[in-house]
Chains A and B, each alone.
Chain A
C-alpha cells in the first residue's frame, strides 16, 4: 500500500484491492502540482488486472484542472487496454461527485460510476422503517428522564459545540437543544428518512439551530477537532465494527472534549412476574442480533472500547428505564413494538421455526404484563460511558 500525504489531499493505492483512493481537497492552479499523484495513478493502472477501483468517497473538493488530469489518464488507460474496467466509487454525501464523474461513463463504456452510500448498512433496515420511528421517540422520552441528570456528570453544560452522531429521529438533539442551549449542534445520521422526520419534528416544535446532516458515521466529512461534546447513543451496539465509528468520533472531538456513548445489555432486561420467561426471551434477543452482526450486549464493554480508542478520564453510569418511570403504558408500547419487529420480522428472516417464535414472543408479552400489572415491575438497563480526548 502506498500513501502520499499532502497538505490538502491524500493519495493511496491498495494493491490487494486494486483500489486507488483520493481524499481531501484537490484544487491546483497548474496540472504540474499533481505530478506525484498522477505518477501513482499511472503506476497503479499499470499493475492492475480486471477492475480498477477509483475511490473518491472522501474527495470533498476537486477543480476542473484536477478532474481533467485524472480523467485523461483513466480514459487513456481504457483506450489502450480494452479489457480494463474502471469502477469509480462516489458518495452522495459529497454532493457534486456522482454527476461529475458520470461524464466518464459517457466517454468510455469501460468506466462505471457507483454511489456507495445508496446501500449504507442494509442490515439495519429492520430498525429504520417508518413504523419504528414512533417507538424510537418513546424510547428517547423514557431514557431522557435519566440522561438529563446524568449528562452534566459527563461534562455536558450550556454553550458547547455538540455533535450527535447517529441521531436517528432527532429527539435527543431537540432535547439537548432545549435543556443545554448549545452554541452549535450538528445531528448526523445515515438514514435520509430519519433525518426528514427529525427536521419535521424540529420544525413542529419551533426549534431552529440544529444542523441535520446526512453521512456515514464511519467515514464522516466533518472536520477534525471541532466539537466539545460528541454523543453517539445506542449505535455502537448495532455496527459490526464499532472501533471505526469511535475513531471518527475521536477525530471530530476537540482535544479536551468528551465523547459520550450509551448502549444496552439487552439480556439484563427483567420483569416480575414471569421473570424466567422474560429473561429467556431477552437472552435469545441478544443472540438474534448477534446473528445479524449487532451486539446488544455492548453496554459493559463501553469502558474498554473508549480506552482502546485513546480516551482518558473514563466515566461510567448505568440506569434502569422502568415501568415506574412516568406512564407504564409507554414502556409497554415499546416492548410491544419490539415483539412485532424482533419476534416477527427478524426471527423469520433468521429462519426460526414457529415453536421458537411462539416462545420468543411470549417473553415480550410477559414483559408487557409485568409493566402494566399494578404489583409488577419491568426494566430495561442502559449503560453510559464517556471519555476525554487527551489535549
Chain B
C-alpha cells in the first residue's frame, strides 16, 4: 500500500509547462491549429533540452499526430485543453476534450491494439497500404516510433483525457 502511494505521488509530480485552453469549436474550426499548437508548444518547452532544435522537431511531430487524431474524432462543442507537463526526461501531453461514447470506444479500441501483438508490423503495413490510413495511425506511430506510453481515461460526464508520456530526450542523444 505504501509502495502504491509512493508510486502515485511520483506520478503526480509532473510540473506544468504549458496549457492551451480553447473552445472545442475554435480548435476544430481550422486544421492548421494542429500544426500551429504543436509547433508553438514544442518550441516553448524544448529550449532547455540537450539539443533544443532536434527535441522540438520530435515533440512537434509527436504532438501533431495526437492533435490530428483528436481533430478528426472530437465533438464541435464543449472544451479542449492541451497540457504539457514535465518530470525529468519525460514530457507528458494531456489532451482533455468533450466526447461521446463512440469517441471513447475508438480510443479504447486503439489502446487494445497497442496492448496486442505485432503493433510495429501493423503500423508499418498501415503506412504503405493502398488505402489511406485511418485516424488510428497517429497513435500507432506514437507508440512505435516515439515509444510513447499512451492511455485514455473518461473524465466525469462527457469528457475524455488522452495521455502520452514521451521520453524524447533519450532519442536526441
Are B35 and A27 within 8 A (Cβ)?
A: yes
Q: A75 CA to B127 CA in the complex, in Å?
A: 12
- A25-B39, A64-B68 known, 19 other contacts, Cβ within 8 Å: A27-B64, A27-B68, A61-B61, A62-B61, A63-B68, A65-B133, A68-B127, A71-B128, A75-B128, A93-B54, A93-B57, A95-B58, A103-B124, A103-B127, A212-B51, A212-B52, A213-B51, A214-B53, A221-B53
Stretch touching chain A among B73-81, B107-115, B137-145: B137-145
Interface residue B60 (Cβ < 8 Å from any Cβ of A)? yes
* B2 within 8 Å of A (CB atoms): no
The 8 sampled A-B contact pairs (Cβ below 8 Å) are A64-B65, A64-B127, A95-B61, A103-B124, A106-B124, A107-B124, A209-B48, A213-B54
Residue A151 lies at the interface, judged by CB distance under 8 Å to chain B: no
Q: A31 touching B128 by the CB < 8 A rule?
A: no
* Chain B, range 22-80, C-beta contacts under 8 Å to A: 31, 34-35, 39, 47-48, 50-55, 57-58, 60-61, 64-65, 68
Docked pose: A75 CA to B124 CA in angstroms: 14
Q: How far is the CB of A206 from chain B (nearest CB, A)?
A: 14
Q: Does B100 contact A (CB under 8 A)?
A: no
For residue B172, CB closer than 8 A to chain A, the reply is yes
A62, A71, A215: which contacts B53 (Cβ < 8 A)?
A: A215
Contact A25 to B35, CB < 8 A, known contacts A68-B127, A208-B48, A212-B50: yes
Interface residue from B48, B51, B137 paired with A214 (Cβ < 8 Å): B51
B132 contacts A68, CB within 8 Å? yes
Size bin of chain A's contact surface: 35 or more
The answer to whether B58 touches A72 (Cβ under 8 A) is: no
A65 contact set on B, CB distance < 8 A: 132-133
The bracket for how many chain B residues form the interface is 20 to 34
Q: Do B130 and A72 touch across chains, with their CB atoms under 8 A apart? A: yes
Q: Is A6 an interface residue (CB 8 A)?
A: no
Q: Please tell me which one of the listed residues A62, A64, A184, A186 contacts residue B138 in the complex, with CB atoms under 8 A apart.
A: A64
Give A214's nearest chain B residue, CB to CB.
Answer: B51
**Beyond A61-B60, A95-B172, is A222–B124 a contact (Cβ under 8 Å)?**
no
User: Assuming the A-B contacts A67-B127, A186-B52, A212-B51, are A96 and B61 also in contact, with contact meaning beta carbons closer than 8 angstroms in the complex?
Assistant: yes
Chain B contacts for A184, CB-based, 8 A? 47
Query: Does B171 lie at the interface of the complex (its beta carbon under 8 Å from any beta carbon of A)?
Result: yes
**Contact string against B for A residues 214-226, beta-carbon threshold 8 Å, 1 for contact and 0 otherwise:** 1100000110000
User: Is B58's CB under 8 angstroms from A68's CB?
Assistant: no
A96 with B132, Cβ < 8 A, contacts A64-B137, A71-B127, A211-B47 known: no
Interface residues of A in 169-214 (CB under 8 A from B): 184, 186, 195, 199, 208-209, 211-214
B34 contacts A27, C-beta separation under 8 Å: yes
Chain A residues 63-106 with CB under 8 Å of chain B are 63-65, 67-68, 71-72, 75, 93-96, 99-100, 103-104, 106
Chain A residue contacts of B61, Cβ below 8 A = 61-62, 95-96
Contact of A61 among B51, B52, B54, B64 (CB under 8 A): B64
